[in-house]
């Protein structure tokens, strides 16, 4: 049975990365963008780790040699463990130990990736608003990357600025509507209505976002007023 691609919320989650070679640092660079609290445990670290920027929390690095997985007992509230050492048997022990504690696991190499709970897809990121994953279900990270590169330029030509602005407007309207429209189905109809509203879409085309937000606020104020009466 094939795995299912999911979008995990990693914000403020505690993640332990064991091993900080070049491949491990690549995973750290991905995770830190999601606002995770990352602890790196490794005897040696690739110097590129010190070039990583943009994290919500500073990286915590423990330089120590790991012989087994018992060190995991020292950490509490761990959400995920990344086994990224160059020792296959050690990676297996780390994954096994983490699973005993019901912690999500990720193995860096092809063998341990099958033992772990998840695999890293190759992502297409469009203006920090749209993220599209290309996954080979952990079978070949290389081919995930190659296929992603093949389709990325086409997707960026298909998805326009109006789509990006509609996402931002929907986010704004959804947050506001949750406070006013308690019924989920009614809230959904309201949000759909914004997308198909000709006036709003013309304003989005003209990039007059402030006016769109004003219309949304006024509409919700009327909605709330009618419900109060």
CA-to-CA distance for 105 and 154, rounded, in angstroms?
A: 33
Query: How far, in Å, are 22, 44, 62, 95, 103 from residue 17 at the CA level?
Result: 13, 13, 10, 11, 13
DSSP single-letter state for residue 50: G
95, 116 Cβ separation under 8 angstroms: yes
DSSP single-letter state for residue 120: P
Instruction: Name the 3-class secondary structure at 177.
Output: helix
Closest C-alpha among 95, 85, 78 to residue 38: 78
Task: For the beta carbon of residue 40, count every other beta carbon within 10 angstroms.
Answer: 22
Helices 198-205 and 161-180: crossing angle in degrees, nearest 10, is 130
pLDDT-above-70 percentage for the chain: 90
CA-to-CA distance for 163 and 54, rounded, in angstroms?
A: 26
Measure CA 165 to chain center. 20
CA-to-CA distance for 100 and 103, rounded, in angstroms?
A: 8
CATH class entry, domain 14-120: alpha beta
43, 108 Cβ separation under 8 angstroms: no
Asked whether the CA dihedral 167, 168, 169, 170 is positive or negative, the reply is positive
Please list the pLDDT of the chain residue by residue as tens digits (229 residues).
Answer: 345 566 778 899 999 999 999 888 988 988 888 889 999 999 999 999 998 877 788 999 999 999 999 999 999 999 999 999 989 899 999 999 999 989 999 887 655 656 666 766 778 888 888 888 888 877 777 888 899 999 988 888 899 999 999 999 999 999 999 999 989 999 999 999 999 999 999 999 999 999 999 999 999 988 866 665 4
- Which residue has tokens 């296929």? 147
Q: Could you tell me the two tokens for 153?
A: 């330029």
CA-to-CA distance for 8 and 28, rounded, in angstroms?
A: 15
CA-to-CA distance for 156 and 137, rounded, in angstroms?
A: 24
- Which residue has tokens 């203006």? 127
For residue 2, the model assigns a pLDDT of 44
């Amino acid at each position: 049975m094939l795995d299912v691609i999911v979008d995990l919320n990693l914000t403020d989650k505690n993640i332990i990365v064991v091993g900080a070679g070049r491949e491990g640092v690549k995973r750290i660079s991905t995770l830190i963008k999601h606002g995770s609290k990352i602890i790196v445990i490794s005897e040696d670290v690739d110097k590129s780790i010190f070039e990583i920027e943009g994290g919500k929390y500073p990286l915590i690095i423990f330089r120590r040699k790991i012989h087994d997985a018992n060190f995991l007992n020292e950490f509490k509230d761990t959400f995920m463990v990344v086994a990224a050492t160059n020792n296959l048997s050690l990676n297996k022990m780390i994954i096994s130990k983490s699973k005993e504690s019901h912690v999500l696991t990720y193995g860096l190499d092809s063998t341990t990736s099958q033992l772990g709970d998840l695999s890293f897809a190759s992502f297409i990121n469009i203006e920090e608003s749209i993220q599209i994953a290309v996954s080979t279900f952990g079978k070949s990270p290389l081919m995930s990357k190659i296929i992603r590169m093949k389709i990325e330029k086409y997707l960026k030509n298909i998805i326009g600025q109006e789509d990006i602005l509609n996402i931002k407007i929907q986010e704004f309207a959804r947050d506001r509507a949750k406070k006013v429209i308690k019924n989920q189905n009614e809230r959904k109809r309201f949000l759909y209505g914004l997308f198909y509203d000709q006036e709003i879409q013309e304003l989005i085309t003209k990039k007059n976002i402030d006016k769109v937000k004003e219309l949304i606020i006024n509409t919700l104020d009327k909605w709330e007023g009618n419900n109060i009466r």
